[in-house]
Every structure is written in structure tokens, then in C-alpha cells.
Structure 1
């Protein structure tokens, strides 16, 4: 999957709001288990710095999913793309989730 939007600016895999991880895992509760904070991004003096990084759509990311979602086929996400965001309470979730 090449269309993975990530709203977590401090994740080390986020490049211009695109996920550049080789694979991501989504839990049964729709949490992104691959999220990994990058202290350099987190402690940056420039809040907008991540906004100026060019998007990288070249990574073909495998998405393993354990949620009961309509896009889950044999623990693989078959959606054309997903969006991952933080919920403000420390959870990082897949917003594309649609209950099966």
C-alpha cells in the first residue's frame, strides 16, 4: 500500500505526512503498533519543520491488521490507503477503520 497518511509529526517513519515504514501493524483495537517517536522531531525548535518535508509515496508498505474491519482480509489490509492519527490521549489509531 502506497497511500498511508500519517498525522503524527514526531513519528520517525513520517516523511511529509506519508508513512515510510516497510510494514506496519494495526492491533485489534486499531492502534498503530509501528509508531515510533523520534526525539529529534519531538524536540525541534521549529514546529512547522515537518510540514516542509516533501511527501514520499514511493514506499510500498505492507499493512498487517488484526482489527475486525471490512478492509481486513486474512490479517492483511486491502484498503487503497489508510490514515493514522493520534487521539490526544496517547493512542495512535487507524482512522480508516470501518467495523465489520
Structure 2
């Protein structure tokens, strides 16, 4: 499990700075920079939507599937970084998020 901090405040899974789901997937199969990655699990928090954190606990550690094959922390599609930061404080769609921990091979 990897320690995850997330500042995507518009995501229905976010309870700053934690995620309320136990598994996330970082997208960006051809990524060469962090701006080409994203959190595939991002879902915009709508005005009347229920935050998923109401039914799940905040998770400081999560299992991270990683599709960013060019990242030094990717080992067999699993993130091996000790800590990961997902950024996107004003994101409305997953493409507006990014894995700030991404480091090109």
C-alpha cells in the first residue's frame, strides 16, 4: 500500500487530503511527464451528490494501479512509491488531475 495525498477537492472520493476508496488507477500509458498522467477514478462532486466518504473511511494508504509505464515507480502496473500526490485542486474531469509523483525513467 502507498500513502496517498490528494488535493482534487472537487472529486466525490476526496476528503482532504485523503481518498475514500481503497484502490485507485493512475492513467497515462504513454506519459512522459506528470501532466500526461491522471487519476482515472476522479468523479466530479455534483451539488446534490453524496460524497463517497460518507459510506467509506478515509484511506491514508491505498493500492495504486499504475498505467504510466514510463514512471520509475511503476513495477508490473503497481506503484512502488512510498508516497503519491494526486493534484487537481480545481479539476472537473479526470484529465485535469495528475500524479505529481510521476518521475520519467
TM-score above 0.5, yes or no = yes
| Unpaired stretches in structure 1, ≥5 consecutive residues | 43-55
Distance 1:12 1:84 in 2: 14
Between the two proteins, the alignment pairs up a number of residues equal to: 87
Q: Quick check: which has more Rg, 1 or 2? A: 1
Query: Of the two structures, which has the highest relative contact order with CA contacts closer than 8 Å and spacing of 6 or more?
Result: 2
Deviation at 1:87, TM superposition (A): 7.5
Regions of 4+ moved over 6 Å: none
Q: Distance in 1 between matches of 2:104 and 2:89?
A: 18
The Cα of 1:16 is off from its aligned counterpart by 2.5
After TM superposition, give the deviation of residue 4 of structure 1 in Å: 0.8
TM-score for both structures, normalised by structure 1: 0.73
Structure 2 unpaired stretches of 5+: 29-35, 50-57
Name the TM-score, length of structure 2 as normaliser. 0.69
